[in-house]
Structure 1
Amino acid sequence: MIRSPRNAAFTLVEMITVIAIIAILAGLILAVNTVAQKKAGLSRAETEIKEISVAIENYKTDNGGYPQDPNLTDTLDPRNASVATSVTNPQGAVAQSSRFLYEQLSGDTDGDGTIGNGSDTGKNYAPDFWKPTHLGGTKNGSGKVAPVLYIMDPFGNPYGYSTAGLLVEQEFRAALSTNPNAPRNVQNSKGTQGYNPTFDLWSCAGDTAGLSAKWIKNW
C-alpha cells in the first residue's frame, strides 16, 4: 500500500517499534562493553601483580626479607572472607597494608606522592610503575595523588598484601631451632595464616562479597 504524501509520517506503532529496537541494541552494546572492560581489567591486574611481585623480590634481595609489618601485613588474612568487603574503605586493613607496601617499594616513605624528595629514605623498586592510575587517594589539580592511600587495582580498589603465611613460616623455623620435632602451626601468633610462605598479593577484581575464587592472586 502506497501512502499519499499527506500520510507519509510514522505511525505510533512504528515509532514504538523503532525505539524498542534502539533500546535493545543499546543494551547489547552496553553489556558487551561492560564484559570487555571487565576482561581488560582482569588482564591488567594479572600483569600488575607480576610487576609488583618482581619489585617485592628485588626488595628482598636488597634487604634480606620481604616488606613486613607486624601490625599491618602479618595480621591481614586473605583467607578471611570479610577481607574483601573492606577494600572499599580507604582506611581499612587492606588499604593500610597496601599503603605500607607502596611506601616500601617506592621509597616514598612519607607517602606524600613525591618520590625521592628530601624526607624519603627508601629505594624505588618500581620506577616505571607509580603512575596516578596505579595510586589511590585524592588527586590535585595537576593530577598528582597526595597523599597516597594505597596501590590501586584496575577496579579502583587497593591491592591486598599479606605476610601472614610468611610469619607462620618464620615462627615454625624459630621453633625448629630449639625443638627439631616442633609442629608447623596452621596459624601464626597473630591468629592469621595466609596462603604462601612468602607473601600473598591479590586484587579482589571488583568483588566485595568475599568470593575469593574471582580474585586475581599469586596463589
Structure 2
Amino acid sequence: MTNDECCRGVCAKRLRDGLGARRSQRGYNAFTLIELIVVVGVIIILTGLVLSTVGYARKKGARARAETEIAAMSAACEGYKADNGIYPRDTTNNTTDNLAALTASPTPDPRPTSYDSNDSRYAATSFYLYAQLSGNPSGDRSTYTQRSYFQFKPSMLSPPGGTGTVTAIRDPFGNSYGYSTAQQANSSYGFNPTFDLWSTAGTSNATDAAYERAWLKNW
C-alpha cells in the first residue's frame, strides 16, 4: 500500500467516525414524540394556572375598588344631606323609588326589583345620583350648575373615556351601579331607610337570588 493510499484510508476512516459521532449525538439530543407531548402539556397547565391567577387578582381588585367607590359615594350623599336636608331622591319622576334592592317578599332570599344591571332602571337611578352629586345635571361633563359633592373619575362613568354625555355611574365590572330610595316611599321595600347603593359585582342578567349575596352594597 502506498503512502497516498494509506493517507486516503485514514482520512476516510476519520470522516466516517466523525459523521457517525455527529449522527449519534443528534440522535441522543433529539426529543421523542412522548417527550414533546409532556412538555406541551406542562406548558398548557402552567399557562392555565397563570391565567386563572391573573383573573382572580383582577376580580379581587375590582371588588376592592367597588367597595371603595360605594363608601366614597355614600360619604358624598351624607354631605348632600347636610346641605339639602334629604338624600338624593327623585320625587318628580320617582326614578329612585322604582328600583328597589329589596321588595316586599324577602323570603327565602332578598328579592330586588331587578337582578339585571342592564335593566334601564339601573342606569336611570345611577344617572340621577351622578347629576345630584356632580352638579352636572345635563350629563354633558362641562356644564356644572349645582354644587359638586363628588368628583367622578372618567372610569366611573358611562360611556367611559371621558367624552360623551353621561348615562350612568359605572362600576369596576362595567355595569351600572344600583341606587334606590324605595324605602322612603314604601317601608316594606329596600334595606336602608335612607338609600341603598350597590354593585352587582359582574352578575348581570342574573335571575337567582343567590347572586344577590355576591353583591357589594352599603347594607
2:154 matched residue in structure 1: 132
CA contact (8 A) 1:95 1:159 kept: yes
Counterpart contact for 1:105–1:124, Cα < 8 Å: yes
Q: Secondary structure at the match of 1:54?
A: helix
1:198 correspondence with 2:202 = no
- The answer to whether residue 166 in structure 2 is matched with residue 148 in structure 1 is yes
Match of 2:75 in 1: 54
Contact 2:100 / 2:113 at 8 angstroms: preserved in 1?
Answer: no
For residues 56-113 of structure 1, give each alpha carbon's deviation from its aligned partner in whole angstroms, at most 9, with x where no partner exists: 111111111111114310111112446222x135xx1011100110011000111012
TM-score normalized by structure 1?
Answer: 0.78
Report the 3-state secondary structure (helix = DSSP H, G, I; strand = E; otherwise coil) of the residue aligned with 1:161: strand
Instruction: Output the CA distance in 2 between the equivalents of 1:58 and 1:81.
Output: 27
Counterpart selection for 2:138 from 95, 98, 110: 110
Residues 111-165 of structure 1: CA deviation (Å, up to 9, x unaligned): 0122xx3xx32111013xx11111111x5xxx32311111111101111100001
Where 1:95 maps in the other structure, the secondary structure is: helix
**Bigger relative contact order, structure 1 or 2, given CA contacts below 8 A and separation 6+?**
1
Q: How many angstroms does 1:22 deviate by?
A: 0.5
Q: Is the 8 A contact 1:136 1:145 kept in 2?
A: no
Say yes or no: does 1:94 pair with 2:122.
Answer: yes
Equivalent residue letter for 2:121:
A
Structure 2 residue runs without a partner (length 5+): 1-22, 103-110
Aligned match of 1:77: 100
**Match of residue 19 from structure 2:** none
Alignment RMSD (CA, Å) = 1.7
Normalised to the residue count of structure 2, the TM-score between the two structures is: 0.78
For residues 160-186 of structure 1, the C-alpha deviation after alignment (integer angstroms, 9 at most, x for no partner) is 100001223xxxxxxxxxxxxxxxx52
Amino acid at match of 2:24: S
Aligned length: 182
Matched to 1:203, the amino acid is S
Match of 1:171 in 2: none
AA partner of residue 218 (structure 1): N
Question: What's the CA shift string for 1:28-70, capped at 9, x where partnerless?
Answer: 1111111111111111111111100011111111111111114
**Unaligned stretches of 5+ in structure 1?**
169-184, 187-192
| Equivalent position SS for 1:202 | strand
